[in-house]
Structure 1
């Protein structure tokens, strides 16, 4: 097929483009901004657009399929041309469903943990040489792309996001997939710009269970009471498998998981990661991996990219970066690190980067989110607030919202960097939480400060 991507530079979009290019489809695309690593990877494959921008002349009747990314706007000129010509326009999730409608679809959903759970499942399957199609939200060790599509594989494992499908399709992405096996990790209000109330956000997960195939399997975290209610009311799945945090202990910075064969040391840590592991185990068992084989494989799982990723360490200091940005993720991640290193000082830094986190009406959700940190920093860019057309927030409002006695607030990338560079990291864990990069922080440079 000839396939054109409108907004090809996104993390998910460029990976899908690469996967389709590998399948020998003729792939083209456009975007008005393409950053690394998307730029280099598209260039290496020979499908990087020659010029940035939108060019309606690229759109013609020889194109079989147009895939529309969220980065594009509703009035995008290439989209308008495709609509005028009556071309088939897919959102990312709609196209993914079309490619997998004859497969057994395994969909991992939830407000938090879905990338890690999907990564755990793929790690275990890869360890045991089980070939599956997949779409995951982070680059994984041992995998070339975040998307893999074939004609022959029976299973596809999909990270099911609840955010909008495309600029012209306001349904959550995961409503497209119609899972045969689904996992929901937990529910904590997010995406306030799309789901203005928690009740509205909850409704999306109820709707998700109603898209499941009749006779399907629902796996869910029973420690989440709202999720437990949703699972109880779900009518499509005929098998429901609850899971919870497995027994474990932490000693000298090492986490040990209790298994039927005895204690097993893990590379990952924290209550949420242990919950994620329990959910991933049930998914793998329903995909034909027995419990013993699961434990053998998961022992070597080091984590998904940017998910509690250790980026530097010496005998006295450790540095982690994590994608956490929503209140529940920030609280869980901070607590997990403190529990893992109870005898070290914890310096936790959070960038308010998303629409929700920069919204003054949402700030109060962060109350005590950094409570486990000995010292805490919140960084945000006033320019990002302006770009999102939100009410300006100030230092006093942030300090009041978080309620942490040792909280510093930075709005200048240079001053934040100076603070980090001047800090003593003797017997310290530095935790950097953000879905951004603190205005251009060089994570490699941090290693020179320890």
Structure 2
């Protein structure tokens, strides 16, 4: 029978061997953010389209080319979210979170969708971990957010990443920079792509972010934004550099970083890897002091970042980072006969309630086939259960690693399995101790 369909272009199937890695990333990132005072928020996977056209910017590649936008059954335009920040800010305003003590610190993991050319590290459906800080004006907030990323990557033991920072000014100083950019790019109207020709009048800063090779080459000679900063933006940027130095977080200044979204002001930054080809930006973010007002809230400064989880996973795999071992099966009970099958099901249910990973046959395999299956799933122990064992109320608990067996009372199977696993701590060391730590701590 032929396969009905294949997965859509630009998407991935995460099978169990990789799903565990993603869960590890998510729990580590969210857990580290919690240490910094961030609470988790979850927002809808789609929003009204105007949220993104107004906040992200109608001259960005995201809005012009990449959004999955459609009309619902009542003709309202909705969009699968291409990034996480706008939805979080909308939720904060709509739910009155800005009326609480500031700064408001939120973290999230969310799927995002962008219709773009797929390549290594770039997908049409992907996942982001991000944080947003609302109501913090000081460069100390910028430094703390960058410190959080630095700590996350340190905990995950990710190496060979470079922090690159820049300032793109504010509404006070950016007009003069825009004028300089317009004057410069006007010399090359015969070489700019059609999209950048439109941007020349509306928002010449976006030309610096164009992916067209010809436009990228022209942009290399464009005026540098740091030469146009006002005193406030320059002081803020210097304050950030001083704080990063105090925290011993190395960085380089890259005046070409503008980020792909219009809401950014002042600080922008990226953590870049050289291990996954052209799409090397693992994390990006910055300050967006006018976004809350654009969404309809009170004047509130803000900043944040997002990490692409698929891209981070690719960097970690390329760098040989270690991931926690999946919890193996503690005990496989192999029943022989109908009565034994019922009792085996009762026993594994009891064991699972006590925090063990326990399995039994549900497909009618022979005893030999069950033993092969137990070996395949890496069961630490097996127990064969037949009429004789049921009558005696006892069975042999077999350690698969070396074949050692111990007769145990079925009514005391839980205690016996605990005892045998604890005996192995001295033999297997901290690895087994870590696996035992995944059990219910109350029961232990």
TM-score bucket of the superposed structures, by smaller chain: under 0.3
Higher helix share: 2
Structure number with larger C-alpha Rg = 2
User: What is the TM-score of this pair, normalised by structure 2?
Assistant: 0.22
Structure with larger RCO (C-alpha < 8 A, sep 6+):
2
